[in-house]
Structure 1
Amino acid sequence: MNNKRFVILASIAALGLSGCAGYREKRGFILDEQLSQAVQVGTDNKTSVERTLGRPTFTGQFNDNEWYYVSRSTSTFAFRTPRVIDQTVLRIRFDPAGNVTAVERTGKDKIASIDPYGRTTPTLGRRKSFFEEFFGNIGTVGSGGLPGGGGQ
C-alpha cells in the first residue's frame, strides 16, 4: 500500500513540476556572421545590403538612411521575466545617395535597465480624491465656453 501511495505522490509532483520547465527563445533577425561581415563601407548600397541581409528589422525613426538588424536570445524559467542571454544590433548607415557609410555592431551591454518610480506617475498640480476624479466632470459636458462644449 505504501508503494502505491508513493507512486501517486511522485506522479502528482512530476505533473506539478513539469509546468515549471525553462526554455530558450531566439527573436528577431538571425544573424549570419559571414553575411554581416560582407557588407562593406563605400562598396555596398541599399539594394546590395537588402539582397545580402534581407529587409531590416526596423529603420531609423527620424532618418530612413539608418537600418537596424536586431537579434536577441532569451532564457526564462516558469513564469519569471525572460533574461537576455545574448543580443546583437547591427546598424548600417547610408548617405543620401544610398551608399553604405558605416556598419556598427553592439551587444547586450547597451541594454538599459529602467526602474519605474513607484506605482504612480508623479504629476504637478492638485491631488484629487477618487470621488473628485470620478464625479468631477458632471455638468461640464455640453456647457458653453468649455472645450468640447456646445457653446458659441
Structure 2
Amino acid sequence: MAGKWRIGIILGASVLTSGCINSIATHRGYLNDEVLLQSVQPGIDNRQSVERTLGRPSLQSEYGQPVWYYIASTTMQKPFGTPRIAEHSVTAVRFDDAGNVVEVKRTGLDEVAYLSPDADKTPTLGRERGFLEDLFGNIGQVGMGGAATGGGAGN
C-alpha cells in the first residue's frame, strides 16, 4: 500500500511541475509570410497591389509620406510569470505621392524599446501637497467671487 502512495505522490508532483516548465506562446498582429513579404518590390508595386498581397496594414502613418506598417509580435509566458517578447517584426512599406512603393524596410527585436516606469508614481509638474492640505486646502475658496461684491437685486 505504501508503494502506491509513493507512485501517486511522484506522479502528482511531476504533473504539477511540468506546468511550470512549459511556456505559453501568444501571437499578436500580422501573420508573417516570408514569400508574400519578399514579393513586394519597390518601383513595381503600388498601394492596391500591396493591399492585395499583404492585406490591410496594422497601422498607417498620419503625417508625412504615406507608410503602411505590418506589426507582428510573439510573447512567451511561464505560468505565474510576466510575458517576455520572443519575436517581434515590423515591416514598413513606404509609398510616394503617386502611391507607388518606394521602400520596404523590416526591423526586428533589436528595435524594440523597453520602458521602465518610475516606481508607483508618474512625475508631474506642480507642488507637492500633503494630506491635510488636500483635505482642508479649499476652505474659504469656493464661492468667494460672489460674496465680496455684495451684488444682488436690492442694490
Q: Same fold (TM over 0.5)?
A: yes
Tell me the TM-score normalised to structure 1 length: 0.78
2:35 equivalent to 1:34: yes
2:67 equivalent to 1:72: no
Tell me the TM-score normalised to structure 2 length: 0.77
Q: Unmatched 5+ residue regions in structure 2?
A: 147-155
CA–CA separation in structure 2 for the residues paired with 1:50 and 1:98: 12
CA–CA separation in structure 2 for the residues paired with 1:132 and 1:13: 56
Q: CA deviation at 1:65?
A: 1.1
Q: CA deviation at 1:48?
A: 0.7
CA–CA separation in structure 2 for the residues paired with 1:5 and 1:138: 71
Percent identity between matched residues is: 46
What do the CA deviations read for 1:74-111 (whole angstroms, capped 9, x no partner)? Answer: 21111212111211110011112211111101010000
Partner of residue 43, structure 1: 44
Partner of residue 151, structure 2: none
Alignment of 1:120-135 (within 5 A): 120-135=121-136
Number of residue-to-residue matches in the alignment: 145
Which has a greater percent of helix? 2
What do the CA deviations read for 1:61-80 (whole angstroms, capped 9, x no partner)? Answer: 43471100011122111121
In angstroms, what is the RMSD of aligned CA positions? 2.6
2:13 equivalent to 1:13: yes
Partner of residue 150, structure 1: none
Q: Does the residue aligned with 1:30 lie in a helix, a strand or coil?
A: coil
CA–CA separation in structure 1 for the residues paired with 2:141 and 2:98: 56
Q: Unmatched 5+ residue regions in structure 1?
A: 146-152
